[in-house]
Amino acid sequence: MNERGNRVLKEIFAEAQRLGRYDVGETIEGLACKLGKAPSDILKLNSNENFFVPLDSLKSVLKEVAEETDPRIYPRDEPLKLKEALGRNMAVPPEEIVISAGSDPLIDLVSHMALRRGDEALSISPTFSIYERCVRLQGADYRTIPLREDFSIDVEKMLASATPRTKLLFLCSPNNPTANQFSRREIQRLAEGFDGLIAVDEAYVDFASFSLVDLVGNLKNLIVFRTFSKVFGLAGLRLGYAVTNRDLAKVMDEKFQLPYSFSLISLKTALKLLEKIKIIKCAVEESKAERSRLIEALNQIPGVHAFGSQTNFVLFQVRKNSGAICDALLKRGVIVRNIGQVLCFENCLRVTVAPPHMTDRFLVALRAVLGE
């Protein structure tokens, strides 16, 4: 290898040292192997997957898609068909929709589109870690403004913190990990007062009160991210979309996104699920009902405080070390997410809202480890 090649590799590895690593947590298979259990005995409640969408229904749709699909052919008309179906579902023009392989690639695309080395992106804390990762991949700076203790946005401080270098603002609403949705007026004020792009991540919005997609026609700097991973139960198929004004959508789709940035199988599966939207709506209502039961049950356990939620997960605080509780639950085959410090609240954990039999098993395990 020549000297230049060595130097380039050194630069790559040096740059990699600046970047964080996204921790997916313990896997079902990995934990089952450690505990000597069957994978079916492991309770996975750390990634906010939607277990309310019937697996049999999803498998049935996938079988239909597999029979109808020639995997040797690139997607052609399917992206437009999906945009049209989504447009009918959300009451927005299909020209305002950009399809991608999950919302994470769209977060990366918008970062690439808006940021250059030396620029800055602004967000809140705590929030989803992928924003920082995508910003730093562009060589830009990432800065956060803490939420207030009631988990609301300090709009005035955010706007005052923006500088000519601040080109992009990320908001997760409902927010991960605090599970609350920010008010429509707060986000409008940010969009109207911010001289840059504002990207609102609505991954969990179907479990909340409202969406902002109806604002993209008037707020020209607003981009809204949505995903099929949560509400549609398609986390394994990787499909998402953005909603923004049609001029920006056209630029994102035709200039900045790589061709064929999604799977034909994913597109066709999403189309069929939109035709069976009653199944999804039923799953959402079941999830909301179980969320209320979970929060109430957690708050009845001594030493536990569960926060309100507009998502399909619940953030809760325990009286003991949250890392130790997380490890103790792992030994019982239950995987949750250790969040730790959230603003002034110590020892926080996050748990996915799951069907009643899974919730009951989690609650039994939590009571046991808290009593040890």
Q: What percent of the chain has pLDDT over 70?
A: 98
Global pTM exceeds 0.85? yes
Residues 206-249 have pLDDT tens digits of: 999 999 999 999 999 999 999 999 999 999 999 999 999 999 99
Average pLDDT, the chain: 94
Q: Judge whether 101 and 266 are in contact, CB under 8 Å.
A: yes
Statement: residue 172 has pLDDT above 90: yes
Mean pLDDT computed over 55-59:
96
pLDDT classification of 2: cutoffs 50, 70, 90: low
The CB density around residue 199, as the number of other CB atoms within 10 Å, is 26
Residues 237-289 have pLDDT tens digits of: 999 999 999 999 999 999 999 888 889 999 999 999 999 999 999 999 999 99
Statement: residue 199 has pLDDT above 70: yes
Give me the helix-helix angle, 130-137 and 103-114, nearest 10°: 40
Using a 10 angstrom Cβ sphere, with 0-12 exposed, 13-18 middle and 19 or more buried, the burial of residue 28 is middle
Backbone CA torsion sign across 366, 367, 371, 372: negative
Cβ contacts of 357 within 8 Å, gap of 6 or more: none
Residues 320-354 have pLDDT tens digits of: 999 999 999 999 999 999 999 999 999 999 999 99
Residue 328 zone, left/alpha/beta (φ > 0; ψ -120 to 50; rest) = alpha
Which pLDDT value is given to residue 372? 67
Mean pLDDT computed over 171-200:
96
Domains of the chain, each with CATH number or no CATH: 22-51+279-371 (3.90.1150.10), 55-275 (3.40.640.10)
**The two structure tokens encoding residue 216:** 């993209």
pLDDT classification of 23: cutoffs 50, 70, 90: confident
Amino acid identity of 245?
N
**The two structure tokens encoding residue 333:** 């085959």
Helix (H, G, I), strand (E, B) or coil at 220: coil
Using a 10 angstrom Cβ sphere, with 0-12 exposed, 13-18 middle and 19 or more buried, the burial of residue 340 is middle
